[in-house]
Amino acid sequence: MKTTTLILIVLIFGTTTLFAQAQQKKEQEQEQSNAEKFSTKTGTLLEKEFVKIGEVKEAQISVVYYTDLINNTKDKAVKFEHGSANTAVLDADEIDGLIKSIKLIQEKIFPTQTTNYIEVTFRSRSGFEAGCYWHEGNWSTYLKFSYTSNPYVFLTKDDFPTLLNLLEQAKAKLQ
Protein backbone atom coordinates (compact mmCIF):
# COMPACT_ATOMS: atom_id res chain seq x y z
CA MET A 1 0.00 0.00 0.00
CA LYS A 2 2.80 2.40 0.90
CA THR A 3 4.63 1.54 -2.31
CA THR A 4 1.55 2.19 -4.43
CA THR A 5 0.98 5.54 -2.70
CA LEU A 6 4.62 6.51 -3.17
CA ILE A 7 4.53 5.59 -6.86
CA LEU A 8 1.32 7.59 -7.31
CA ILE A 9 2.86 10.65 -5.62
CA VAL A 10 5.99 10.42 -7.78
CA LEU A 11 3.89 10.11 -10.96
CA ILE A 12 1.73 13.11 -10.06
CA PHE A 13 4.75 15.22 -9.14
CA GLY A 14 6.63 14.20 -12.29
CA THR A 15 3.67 14.90 -14.56
CA THR A 16 3.07 18.30 -12.94
CA THR A 17 6.75 19.24 -13.29
CA LEU A 18 6.88 18.19 -16.95
CA PHE A 19 3.69 20.11 -17.71
CA ALA A 20 5.03 23.28 -16.04
CA GLN A 21 8.31 23.05 -17.97
CA ALA A 22 6.48 22.49 -21.26
CA GLN A 23 4.21 25.47 -20.57
CA GLN A 24 7.19 27.72 -19.79
CA LYS A 25 8.97 26.62 -22.98
CA LYS A 26 5.82 27.26 -25.01
CA GLU A 27 5.50 30.78 -23.55
CA GLN A 28 9.14 31.53 -24.37
CA GLU A 29 8.68 30.30 -27.94
CA GLN A 30 5.59 32.47 -28.36
CA GLU A 31 7.54 35.55 -27.25
CA GLN A 32 9.76 35.81 -30.28
CA SER A 33 10.04 38.61 -32.77
CA ASN A 34 9.35 37.84 -36.40
CA ALA A 35 13.07 38.38 -37.09
CA GLU A 36 13.97 35.79 -34.44
CA LYS A 37 11.58 33.32 -36.04
CA PHE A 38 13.13 34.08 -39.45
CA SER A 39 16.64 33.60 -38.06
CA THR A 40 15.88 30.20 -36.52
CA LYS A 41 14.40 28.56 -39.61
CA THR A 42 15.87 25.15 -40.27
CA GLY A 43 17.09 23.84 -43.59
CA THR A 44 18.54 27.12 -44.75
CA LEU A 45 21.85 28.93 -44.96
CA LEU A 46 21.49 32.17 -43.02
CA GLU A 47 23.75 35.22 -43.06
CA LYS A 48 23.53 37.72 -40.19
CA GLU A 49 25.15 41.15 -40.52
CA PHE A 50 25.46 43.22 -37.34
CA VAL A 51 25.80 47.02 -37.58
CA LYS A 52 26.62 48.64 -34.26
CA ILE A 53 24.63 51.81 -33.53
CA GLY A 54 25.81 52.67 -30.00
CA GLU A 55 25.10 52.13 -26.35
CA VAL A 56 23.25 53.65 -23.45
CA LYS A 57 24.43 52.62 -19.97
CA GLU A 58 25.27 48.92 -20.36
CA ALA A 59 22.88 48.26 -23.27
CA GLN A 60 24.34 47.98 -26.76
CA ILE A 61 22.08 48.66 -29.73
CA SER A 62 22.67 47.34 -33.22
CA VAL A 63 20.80 46.68 -36.43
CA VAL A 64 20.80 43.10 -37.70
CA TYR A 65 20.27 42.20 -41.35
CA TYR A 66 19.23 38.58 -41.94
CA THR A 67 19.56 36.95 -45.37
CA ASP A 68 18.40 33.46 -46.27
CA LEU A 69 21.04 32.67 -48.88
CA ILE A 70 19.15 29.71 -50.33
CA ASN A 71 15.81 31.43 -50.89
CA ASN A 72 17.21 34.98 -51.15
CA THR A 73 14.75 36.33 -48.57
CA LYS A 74 15.64 39.04 -46.07
CA ASP A 75 14.59 40.49 -42.74
CA LYS A 76 15.98 43.15 -40.43
CA ALA A 77 15.62 44.15 -36.81
CA VAL A 78 17.09 46.12 -33.92
CA LYS A 79 18.99 44.12 -31.35
CA PHE A 80 19.53 45.16 -27.73
CA GLU A 81 22.30 43.44 -25.77
CA HIS A 82 23.24 43.59 -22.12
CA GLY A 83 26.10 41.24 -21.43
CA SER A 84 26.29 37.94 -23.26
CA ALA A 85 23.07 36.36 -21.97
CA ASN A 86 20.66 39.29 -22.23
CA THR A 87 19.47 40.01 -25.75
CA ALA A 88 16.24 41.25 -27.26
CA VAL A 89 15.29 41.61 -30.91
CA LEU A 90 12.66 44.12 -32.02
CA ASP A 91 11.14 43.91 -35.47
CA ALA A 92 11.39 46.92 -37.74
CA ASP A 93 7.65 47.56 -37.38
CA GLU A 94 8.00 47.82 -33.57
CA ILE A 95 10.61 50.59 -33.57
CA ASP A 96 8.10 53.37 -34.32
CA GLY A 97 6.03 52.28 -31.32
CA LEU A 98 9.07 52.30 -29.05
CA ILE A 99 10.15 55.75 -30.30
CA LYS A 100 6.64 57.14 -29.79
CA SER A 101 6.52 55.61 -26.32
CA ILE A 102 9.82 57.18 -25.28
CA LYS A 103 8.69 60.58 -26.59
CA LEU A 104 5.39 60.30 -24.70
CA ILE A 105 7.19 59.34 -21.51
CA GLN A 106 9.52 62.33 -21.86
CA GLU A 107 6.76 64.82 -22.72
CA LYS A 108 3.79 63.64 -20.65
CA ILE A 109 5.00 61.33 -17.89
CA PHE A 110 8.27 62.83 -16.61
CA PRO A 111 6.72 66.28 -15.89
CA THR A 112 4.08 64.73 -13.61
CA GLN A 113 4.30 63.89 -9.93
CA THR A 114 2.09 61.58 -7.94
CA THR A 115 1.68 60.05 -4.53
CA ASN A 116 0.81 56.62 -5.95
CA TYR A 117 3.11 54.01 -7.41
CA ILE A 118 2.81 54.08 -11.22
CA GLU A 119 4.40 51.97 -13.96
CA VAL A 120 4.50 52.92 -17.65
CA THR A 121 5.71 50.16 -19.98
CA PHE A 122 6.30 49.52 -23.69
CA ARG A 123 6.45 45.77 -24.44
CA SER A 124 7.64 44.17 -27.68
CA ARG A 125 6.65 40.83 -29.22
CA SER A 126 9.79 39.26 -27.82
CA GLY A 127 9.05 40.35 -24.25
CA PHE A 128 11.53 43.25 -24.20
CA GLU A 129 10.32 46.18 -22.10
CA ALA A 130 11.24 49.83 -21.83
CA GLY A 131 9.55 52.09 -19.36
CA CYS A 132 9.51 53.97 -16.12
CA TYR A 133 7.97 53.88 -12.67
CA TRP A 134 7.32 56.43 -9.93
CA HIS A 135 9.27 55.55 -6.81
CA GLU A 136 10.19 57.64 -3.78
CA GLY A 137 9.39 60.96 -5.45
CA ASN A 138 11.20 60.30 -8.74
CA TRP A 139 10.69 58.64 -12.09
CA SER A 140 13.05 55.68 -12.50
CA THR A 141 13.61 54.30 -16.01
CA TYR A 142 14.65 50.89 -17.25
CA LEU A 143 15.11 48.41 -20.07
CA LYS A 144 14.08 44.83 -19.31
CA PHE A 145 15.25 41.70 -21.08
CA SER A 146 13.02 38.67 -20.52
CA TYR A 147 14.01 35.17 -19.39
CA THR A 148 17.35 36.06 -17.83
CA SER A 149 18.69 36.07 -14.30
CA ASN A 150 19.63 39.78 -14.42
CA PRO A 151 17.09 41.27 -16.82
CA TYR A 152 17.23 44.99 -15.99
CA VAL A 153 19.35 47.89 -17.20
CA PHE A 154 18.43 50.89 -15.07
CA LEU A 155 18.62 54.25 -16.79
CA THR A 156 18.09 57.81 -15.67
CA LYS A 157 15.67 60.31 -17.18
CA ASP A 158 18.75 61.93 -18.74
CA ASP A 159 19.52 58.67 -20.62
CA PHE A 160 16.22 58.73 -22.51
CA PRO A 161 17.35 61.37 -25.07
CA THR A 162 20.42 59.21 -25.82
CA LEU A 163 18.23 56.11 -26.18
CA LEU A 164 15.85 58.01 -28.45
CA ASN A 165 18.72 59.25 -30.63
CA LEU A 166 20.15 55.73 -30.98
CA LEU A 167 16.73 54.33 -31.92
CA GLU A 168 16.25 57.01 -34.56
CA GLN A 169 19.67 56.15 -36.00
CA ALA A 170 18.70 52.46 -36.03
CA LYS A 171 15.36 53.26 -37.67
CA ALA A 172 17.17 55.12 -40.46
CA LYS A 173 19.25 52.00 -41.14
CA LEU A 174 16.10 49.88 -41.33
CA GLN A 175 14.61 51.95 -44.18
Does residue 112 lie in a domain region?
yes
CA 114 to chain centre: 28
Does residue 110 lie in a domain region?
yes
Does residue 29 lie in a domain region?
no
Does residue 28 lie in a domain region?
no
Does residue 22 lie in a domain region?
no
Does residue 139 lie in a domain region?
yes
What's the pTM?
Answer: 0.78
Residue 161 has pLDDT above 70, yes or no: yes
Instruction: Tally the domains of the chain.
Output: 1
CATH code for position 70: 3.30.2450
**Residue 61 backbone class (left: φ over 0; alpha: ψ -120 to 50; beta: rest):** beta
Rounded to an integer, the average pLDDT of 151-171 is: 93
The length of the chain is 175
DSSP secondary structure string, 101-145? HHHHIIIIITT---SS--EEEEE-TTS-EEEEEEETTEEEEEEE-
Using one digit for the tens of pLDDT, what is the confidence trace for 16-74? 444 434 444 444 445 888 888 988 888 889 999 999 999 999 899 999 999 999 999 99
* Structural domain for 166, as ranges: 34-174
Q: Which of 122, 174, 143, 127 is nearest to 59 (CA)?
A: 143
Are 34 and 75 in contact by the 8 Å Cβ rule? The answer is yes
Does residue 19 lie in a domain region?
no
